[in-house]
Amino acid sequence: MFTACRNCIKRFKLGQEFSSNVVDSSSADENEAKEIDIEAITNGDKDQEHKLKVIMLEAEVMRQEGKLVPPISLITQEQWKELLNLPSRTARRKCFEFLFKVSKMKENRQFALKYDLAHNNILLRIYDTTINQFYNNKLIQAMMFGQKLVVDCGYDSDMTKRENSNCAKQLMLLFSENRLHADPFDLHLCNAHHDGIQMKYLHKFIPNMLEKSFPINVHEKSYLDIFPKDQLVYLTPHCREELTEYDHDAIYIIGAIVDKINNQPLSLAKAKKEGLKMAKLPLDRHLQWGSGSGKSLTLNQMICIMNDIKFTGNWKHALQHVPRRKLIDFQIGDHIKTATDNLRYDRPRRERKWAPASNTDLSRISYIEDNHDKVRVGKNVVKKIMND
């Protein structure tokens, strides 16, 4: 009797705890929703505010269904604005999955920073700040003694919003690839207006790039106002002259443009208008391009090629940064490999050798020397013995 009452009391307490947890979780979600500045995201638009609340409810339903949705508190205002601009529920679901993976990646990084064995180790810990200081020190030395390289950032008005975002990512990779090299360039970002779309995206990727201690030169002026005109060489793929010999005294200019939609020769027209020397990389001289593959290179690939040609002077070594999928030898080799994997005649055949039968009298076989001084068996004699 008493045990039954005790079990009832335990069940009642468990039910109270479960209901309190549900209430706490729902109240926590409401608090997270309250923390979001809806007016700053929607700019006071009632339709956008209603759509934002629907998307929040949609995210909560997806989370209850077991789909990959990050906590609402981890979604920034810019990400909410991007979610508002997405046209369909499938696109928002994919965006939520991406944000969830990014949040888990950050958690794994924080966990990886902790050492095992109660966070102890016999080795000295090397922090990320130490590695950054080491690479930035190389860039500071390049600013004092290295060769200068100009990146023309004056094409943001000729690109779409998506192209400007991709270009900013390539500029970030250009900076990182440059500082990893043994002999980096002294980078100068010219025509970089701080109010432009491209610089806003780049500032998101490199938040401290406008600080005085950061080892990169950002100029709103043109390169014509900073460097002597006779040393400037504009690298454009649309000109005729090839850069056969690298000049260590020249100041090369790379156009920061992603031309997925607009394929006009903008850099060629700009260089002609300003009266600058022009050159293009000798890609056709050293590489065989495959059919249907474009010859355009990203900004980070360009900086890798320029660093290697400056350091080694060998074009074949420098052009190894061109993606192999664009070259004809890679395409032909891959096609032959996939087409002949299952063919029988490609497999090595076993050589068949003649062997006499068990009832053959080997003492009656004669050996005859031919004109090539090789020994062969007299086949007529063998046939005669077999017939006998």
Class of domain 134-332: alpha beta
Region 66-82: mean pLDDT is 86
Whether pLDDT at 4 is above 50: no
DSSP state letter for 324: G
Share of the chain above pLDDT 90, in %: 35
Share of the chain above pLDDT 70, in %: 71
- Residues 245/291, Cβ–Cβ less than 8 Å: no
Whether pLDDT at 155 is above 60: yes
Region 77-102: mean pLDDT is 88
In terms of C-beta density within 10 A (0-12 exposed, 13-18 middle, 19 or more buried), how is residue 275 classed?
exposed
DSSP state letter for 351: P
Region 37-45: mean pLDDT is 82
Whether pLDDT at 138 is above 60: yes
Give the Å distances, CA to CA, from 322 to 7, 166, 267, 289, 340. 72, 19, 21, 10, 27
User: For 157-175, what is each residue's pLDDT tens digit?
Assistant: 888 888 999 999 999 999 9
Distance CA 160, CA 163 (A): 5
Cα 230-231-232 angle, rounded to 5 deg: 95
User: For 224-248, what is each residue's pLDDT tens digit?
Assistant: 999 999 999 999 988 989 998 999 9
Amino acid 286: pLDDT? 86
Whether pLDDT at 181 is above 90: yes
Region 378-382: mean pLDDT is 49
Distance CA 96, CA 82 (A): 11
Amino acid 28: pLDDT? 46
Region 263-270: mean pLDDT is 87
User: For 290-343, what is each residue's pLDDT tens digit?
Assistant: 776 678 889 999 999 999 999 998 998 999 999 888 888 654 444 444 444 444
Whether pLDDT at 353 is above 50: yes
Q: What mean pLDDT is reported for the chain?
A: 78
Q: Which of 280, 285, 284 is nearest to 242 (CA)?
A: 280
